[in-house]
């Protein structure tokens, strides 16, 4: 089977899953949060070293205030439990996104990243207050500042230099993107990094997405032909 280094997931369908069961959307988000740990363990067991999950986008602030508050409360609790999980499972956790807009979570985020920084198990990235365009904009601003101060020559700007200014610096680009709950778009997620990523869309909502469906996605990926712009021999 083709080796996968990095899986990215868009966690979608928490609210619709709960509604289909006659339950409040908040319950769906709570069950979705529990499933994060299940899939982290499954990815690690499968020998895949990197996993990135889209937990809260820059656009999610446009949801009803009550729902946003519920999600923030869940994230606060998750950060606390994730600290224990990271220690227990030797997991390194990094948060990508504009954490300056998450002042209430920033201390927990920084502490989680600090205490897990030397761990050598699964590399788990959580995208919070994240948007691909926002990430690229922040990177361009940093590069422009370095050019204006003379610490970087504009002729030295390469794809590698730009990558080094992104939130995902040092992390390989995703091999496979999984999006749950049937939607077939990437929703401003890892726009730079997914230039050659294979996409897998499943109708199964995130709270119901288990190890079996994860393996189905990986098996589908194994049947893909990643050409990176080349022509297949014999064609």
Catalytic residues: 12, 60
Q: Where are the alpha helices (DSSP H) in the chain?
A: 14-20, 25-45, 65-89, 106-116, 132-149, 159-164, 211-222
72 CB contacts (<8 Å, ≥6 apart)? 104, 105
CA distance linking residue 167 with residue 81, whole number of Å: 23
DSSP notation for 124-136: EEEEEEE-HHHHH
Coil, helix or strand for 223?
coil
DSSP structural state of residue 207: G
32-36-82 Cα angle (round to 5)? 115
The count of other CB atoms within 10 Å of the CB of residue 172 is 12
The count of other CB atoms within 10 Å of the CB of residue 138 is 17
197-10-178 Cα angle (round to 5)? 45
93 Cα distance to chain centroid: 11
């Amino acid at each position: 089977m083709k080796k996968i280094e990095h899986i990215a997931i868009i966690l979608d369908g928490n609210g619709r899953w709960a509604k289909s069961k006659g339950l409040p959307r908040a319950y769906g988000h709570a069950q979705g949060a529990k499933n994060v740990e299940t899939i982290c363990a499954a990815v690690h067991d499968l020998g895949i070293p990197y996993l990135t999950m889209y937990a809260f986008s820059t656009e999610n602030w446009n949801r009803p205030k009550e729902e946003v508050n519920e999600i923030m409360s869940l994230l606060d609790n998750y950060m606390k439990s994730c600290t224990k999980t990271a220690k227990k499972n030797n997991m390194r956790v990094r948060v990508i996104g504009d954490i300056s807009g998450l002042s209430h979570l920033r201390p927990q985020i920084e502490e989680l990243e600090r205490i897990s920084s030397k761990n050598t198990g699964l590399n788990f990235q959580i995208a919070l207050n994240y948007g691909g365009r926002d990430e690229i904009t922040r990177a361009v601003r940093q590069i422009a500042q370095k050019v204006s101060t003379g610490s970087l020559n504009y002729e030295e700007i390469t794809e590698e230099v730009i990558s080094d200014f992104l939130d995902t610096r040092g992390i390989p680009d995703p091999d496979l993107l999984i999006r749950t709950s049937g939607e077939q778009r990437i929703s401003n997620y890892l726009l730079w990094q997914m230039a050659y990523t294979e996409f897998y869309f499943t109708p199964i909502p995130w709270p119901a997405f288990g190890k079996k469906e994860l393996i189905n996605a990986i098996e589908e990926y194994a049947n893909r032909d990643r050409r990176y712009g080349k022509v297949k021999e014999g064609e």
